[in-house]
C-alpha cells in the first residue's frame, strides 16, 4: 500500500507504572486528551497495570504457555505502532521494573521507530528516568525525540478532577513533542517502505 502524508500513524502510549495507588492515570488521562486531538495519530494504550500485560522478570526463549498468551496479546500491538510515548514515573532515580520487563521481552518491535516521553515525579519530574531510557532505546535502534513533557512535583499541579491548574506550558510541551513524533514517524515509516531497516 502506498503511504501518504494523510495515512494515520499509530501512536502506542505505554503507561509504565503498575504501582498500587499510582498517580499515572491522572497524567495518562491528561496526555491522552492531547494525543487524541492530534490529527496525525490514532492512539493505542498499553497499561502495564493491566494484569494481561504483566510479564515475568525472567526472560525465556521458550516461554511458558501463559506467558506466550500474554505476549500474543501485547507484542502485535507494539509491532503495529509507528511511534511510542512512554509515560513513566521516577523510582529511585530510575524507571519502573514493569517497563524494563516490557522493553526486554521485545526487540524488533522498537526498531526504527520514534519514542517520546511523558514523565512525572518529585523535584526532578522524572527526567532522570527519561535519561536512562534514552540509552536503553538507543540500544534497541529506536529514535528518541528531543522534547519531553515533564511534571515536577506532579501531585500539586492537578486538581481533584484531574485537570491541570496551569496548563499553558504543559499543553505547549505536549504539542511540540507530538509534532516531533509525527515528523519522525512519517520519515521512518516512509524510509522503511522503500528499504527495510538493517539492524
Average pLDDT over the chain, rounded to an integer: 93
- DSSP H/E element including 85: strand 83-89
Contact assessment for residue 84 and residue 46, using Cβ atoms and an 8 Å cutoff: no
Tell me the pLDDT band of 1, cut-offs 50, 70 and 90. Answer: very low
Q: How many residues does the chain have?
A: 199
Residues pairing with 41 in the sheet: 9
Q: Name the nearest CA neighbour of 151 among 15, 45, 36, 23.
A: 23
Q: Would you say residue 160 has pLDDT above 90?
A: no
CA dist list (Å): 48 to 87, 141, 175: 11, 22, 25
pTM for the whole structure: 0.93
**What's the pLDDT score for residue 154?**
87
Query: From CA 146, how far away is CA 67, in angstroms rounded?
Result: 34
Q: Please, what is the end-to-end C-alpha distance for the chain in angstroms? A: 24
CATH architecture of 77-194: 3-Layer(aba) Sandwich (3.40)
Q: What are phi and psi of 115, to 5 degrees?
A: -130, 130
Q: Would you say residue 3 has pLDDT above 90?
A: no
Q: What does the pLDDT look like over 133-155, one tens digit per residue?
A: 999 999 999 999 999 999 999 88
For residue 139, what is its C-alpha cell?
540500544
Amino acid at each position: 500500500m502506498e503511504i501518504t502524508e494523510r495515512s494515520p500513524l499509530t501512536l502506542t502510549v505505554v503507561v509504565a507504572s503498575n504501582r498500587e495507588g499510582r498517580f499515572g492515570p491522572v497524567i495518562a488521562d491528561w496526555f491522552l486528551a492531547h494525543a487524541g486531538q492530534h490529527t496525525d495519530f490514532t492512539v493505542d494504550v498499553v497499561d502495564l497495570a493491566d494484569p494481561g500485560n504483566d510479564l515475568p522478570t525472567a526472560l525465556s526463549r521458550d516461554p511458558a504457555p501463559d506467558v506466550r498468551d500474554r505476549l500474543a496479546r501485547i507484542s502485535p500491538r507494539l509491532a503495529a505502532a509507528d511511534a511510542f510515548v512512554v509515560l513513566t514515573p521516577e523510582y529511585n532515580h530510575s524507571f519502573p521494573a514493569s517497563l524494563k520487563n516490557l522493553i526486554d521481552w521485545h526487540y524488533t518491535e522498537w526498531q526504527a521507530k520514534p519514542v517520546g516521553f511523558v514523565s512525572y515525579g518529585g523535584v526532578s519530574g522524572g527526567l532522570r528516568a527519561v535519561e536512562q531510557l534514552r540509552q536503553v532505546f538507543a540500544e534497541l535502534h529506536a529514535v528518541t525525540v528531543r522534547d519531553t513533557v515533564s511534571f515536577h512535583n506532579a501531585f500539586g499541579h492537578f486538581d481533584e478532577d484531574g485537570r491541570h491548574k496551569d496548563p499553558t506550558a504543559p499543553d505547549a510541551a505536549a504539542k511540540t513533542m507530538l509534532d516531533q513524533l509525527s515528523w519522525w514517524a512519517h520519515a521512518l515509516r516512509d524510509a522503511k517502505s522503500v528499504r527495510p531497516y538493517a539492524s
